Amino acid sequence: MTTTRIEEPAFNVPASITAVQIGNANADTPNINASEYLRQVPGVLARDRQNYAQDEQISIRGFGSRSTFGVRGARLYTDGIPATMPDGQGQLSNFNFDSAERIEVLRGPFSALYGNSSGGVIQIFTADGSKPPAIIGNIGAGSDGVWRLDAGSRGARGDIGYNVDLSKFRTDGYRDHSRAKRIKSNAKFDIKVGNGGKLTLLLNTVSMPLAQDPQGLTQQQAAADPRQAAPSALIYNTRKSVHQHQGGASYTQQIGGGHSLQLLAYYGQRSVQQFLSVPVGAQKNPLSSGGVIDLDTNYAGTDLRWTWKGNLAGQPFDLAAGIAYDRSEQLRLGHENFIGKTLGVLGALRRNEQDDVYNVDQYLQSSWRFAPRWSLTLGARHSVVRFSSLDHYITANNPDDSGRVAYSSTDPVAGLMFDVRPDLHLYASYGHGFATPTFSELGYRLNDSGLNFSLQPSRSHNAEIGSKWLLPGGGNLDIAVFQANTSDETGVLSSSGGRTVYQNVGSSRRRGVEVGLHLPLADEWTLDTAYTYLDARFLDAFGDCSGPNGCAVPANARMPGVPRQLLNARLRWGGELGWHAGLQVDAASAVSANDAGTIVAPGYAIAGVNAGYVFDTGRYQVVSFARIDNLLDLEYIGSVIVGQANGASFEPAPGRTFYLGVKVTLRQE
């Protein structure tokens, strides 16, 4: 495991950490969305919203559950490069699964070692070049006009390893007005340098020229026709386009005596244009930012880390220390979404500001096996995050809203592990964490223009105890009990006319149980289960005017967007070659869509089946598979949009769907 920065098996880490392997010949997954893999991880809610104009819904132990777009509350990384900006807002769009080897997910107290907004950490790792070199082609198609093409090559020649990939995806969408197109590329080059040196070069791009947004439905609309788009989505032709280019380099040098240095640097550009359904009447307000968001972002950063493996008092000791700097410079424009009586077009300028944020963090982490059956892991991270906004849109009725604010936090963590037996470890961990408001949350004040710099960062105290078992035949069982108490939780104050204003709503608590099981059964049968029980509540009463419930949220109300119970179970038969088949069950309990709990999506349980055949001659490998999801064709709400003022919070999931895929690998002699 590398997510903990000190490489050692997850079994020896006093934290909840799961690795999901990608690229298995018998995985039978389309490789389209992160939710295909992340729903296999306990503690993680990963929902494909069937809406590529908004990112997938990802939350970890309830952190990030209210995010309406992008990923909030969890840190995202691609090969060590942050996919989360310094303000805590992240995107999954550049995760490339065809060239990846694994995804690692870290939950609990030790996530705080990654800084701002780290309720959990999700990292995707590109596979190294293989020997012998191989050329890979992948084609798939399915329901609702889904099809994808992928081509890649990976190998190693001399001191250079490579893995390059290009994929194209499109869909007509399950719902009306939900077509999308997406092109991704990813490249990784590993170069051995001198004695003990390694240089890794990373490049990836994402182009999504079209992603229509069907928006959420009310409960009545979803019941009448779950495939329909919201009427306002059609009126204003709501849609989004994204273009992103990113490059990075990592150099690692062994310097003897157990010491090593690693330097990471990266740079990227991202442009987003999104057409919203803000009513024309609401834009008459001189403080309105219009109905079109137009963002151009340059981002960059570096991370310098020193590690040492040695002994302390005669016992194994690992130490890592580093400093990280990340910066995002964003030109934010807002336009009206109409010209005269023509709607859904780029209109007059209504917002023009330069929003910059950067962080400077220092971190330290150590692991010491101070006795034969005991190990102690300690760490701390000091973070400073500075926001600044320079307003260029100034009129008689819209004053200069420039401003700046800085937040800081020092977050310690500690974990203790006891080896009961070689196959059973017990652990306990505790730590502090914090999350600043994102620029989106700072975006509006209640009765004024400018950024809401009065928002305070939320601060959490996280604790967990757990056990890790190695089972006969290569199985494992992980159980964790956790609790996170948060002060200054961020919530919605009001939402209307395209303006969502956030506030600090007091204290909250998230506590629950996670169970992860991998159990080999007889005759090539295996069972994998990820179960989560999560009770997430606001502890204080507060006002919330975001929906039709009024403005009162009582103390002890359940947090929206968080099902109390979540289950993913997969039963598989077959070996590495020949025929294989599987059965998968996904279930979730009811989930509320507003703070007061008056808008609730019912729970559901759905099943899917898959089957495939793997043929391998040594030089050629052919993997073919078919899958059917939602086998019983049940109607259910796949995800909810939290805090919609008009109650249009429901995003219906598809009925029965199918997907067929073929992957061909040619190994070069």
Whole-number pLDDT of residue 1: 52
Average pLDDT in the 470-498 region? 89
Which residues, including other chains, have CB under 8 Å from residue 281's CB and lie 6 or more apart? none
* pTM score, whole prediction: 0.95
Which residues, including other chains, have CB under 8 Å from residue 208's CB and lie 6 or more apart? 52, 93, 180, 181, 182, 183, 240, 241, 242, 243
- The mean pLDDT of the chain is 93
Whole-number pLDDT of residue 3: 55
Q: How confident is the model at residue 26 (pLDDT cuts 50, 70, 90)?
A: confident
Task: Provide φ and ψ at 181, rounded to 5°.
Answer: -130, 140
Share of the chain above pLDDT 90, in %: 80
Whole-number pLDDT of residue 409: 96
Whole-number pLDDT of residue 49: 87
Average pLDDT in the 230-250 region? 97
Q: Tell me whether residue 602 is exposed, middle or buried, using C-beta atoms within 10 angstroms of its C-beta: 0 to 12, 13 to 18, 19 or more.
A: exposed
Q: Tell me whether residue 100 is exposed, middle or buried, using C-beta atoms within 10 angstroms of its C-beta: 0 to 12, 13 to 18, 19 or more.
A: buried
Contact 319, 340 (CB under 8 A): no
Which of these ranges, 33-37, 397-401, 407-411, 664-668, has the smallest mean pLDDT?
A: 397-401
Distances in whole angstroms, Cα of residue 231 to Cα of each of 47, 150, 295, 340: 24, 35, 26, 20
Average pLDDT in the 403-408 region? 92
- CATH 3.50.50.60 describes domain 10-667: no
Average pLDDT in the 507-527 region? 95
Whole-number pLDDT of residue 446: 77
The two beta strands, 338-339 and 342-343, are antiparallel
Q: What is the pLDDT of residues 412-435, one digit of tens each?
A: 999 999 999 999 999 999 999 999
Q: How confident is the model at residue 518 (pLDDT cuts 50, 70, 90)?
A: very high
Average pLDDT in the 305-319 region? 95
| Alpha carbon 662 to chain centroid, angstroms | 27
Q: How confident is the model at residue 159 (pLDDT cuts 50, 70, 90)?
A: very high
In the Cβ-directed half-sphere of 519, how many Cα atoms lie within 13 Å? 13
Q: Among residues 457, 353, 503, which one has the least CA distance to residue 118?
A: 457
Contact 196, 255 (CB under 8 A): yes
Whole-number pLDDT of residue 94: 85
The answer on pLDDT for 443 being more than 90 is no
Q: How confident is the model at residue 70 (pLDDT cuts 50, 70, 90)?
A: confident
Q: What is the pLDDT of residues 130-157, one digit of tens each?
A: 889 999 999 999 999 999 999 999 999 9
Q: What is the pLDDT of residues 568-600, one digit of tens each?
A: 999 999 988 999 999 999 999 999 998 888 899
CB atoms within 10 A of CB 97: 23
Whole-number pLDDT of residue 464: 98
Q: Tell me whether residue 557 is exposed, middle or buried, using C-beta atoms within 10 angstroms of its C-beta: 0 to 12, 13 to 18, 19 or more.
A: buried
Whole-number pLDDT of residue 634: 97
Phi-psi region of 622 (alpha: psi -120 to 50; beta: other; left: phi over 0): beta
CB atoms within 10 A of CB 525: 12
The two beta strands, 81-82 and 75-78, are antiparallel
The answer on pLDDT for 498 being more than 70 is no
Average pLDDT in the 38-59 region? 92
Q: How confident is the model at residue 550 (pLDDT cuts 50, 70, 90)?
A: low
Average pLDDT in the 46-66 region? 90
Whole-number pLDDT of residue 517: 98
The two beta strands, 75-78 and 120-126, are parallel
Which residues, including other chains, have CB under 8 Å from residue 486's CB and lie 6 or more apart? 458, 459, 460, 461, 507, 508, 509, 510
Cα–Cα distance for residue pair 507/126, rounded to 1 Å: 39
The three-state DSSP-derived secondary structure of 524-573 is CEEEEEEEEEEEEEECCCECCECECCECCECCCCECCCCCCEEEEEEEEE
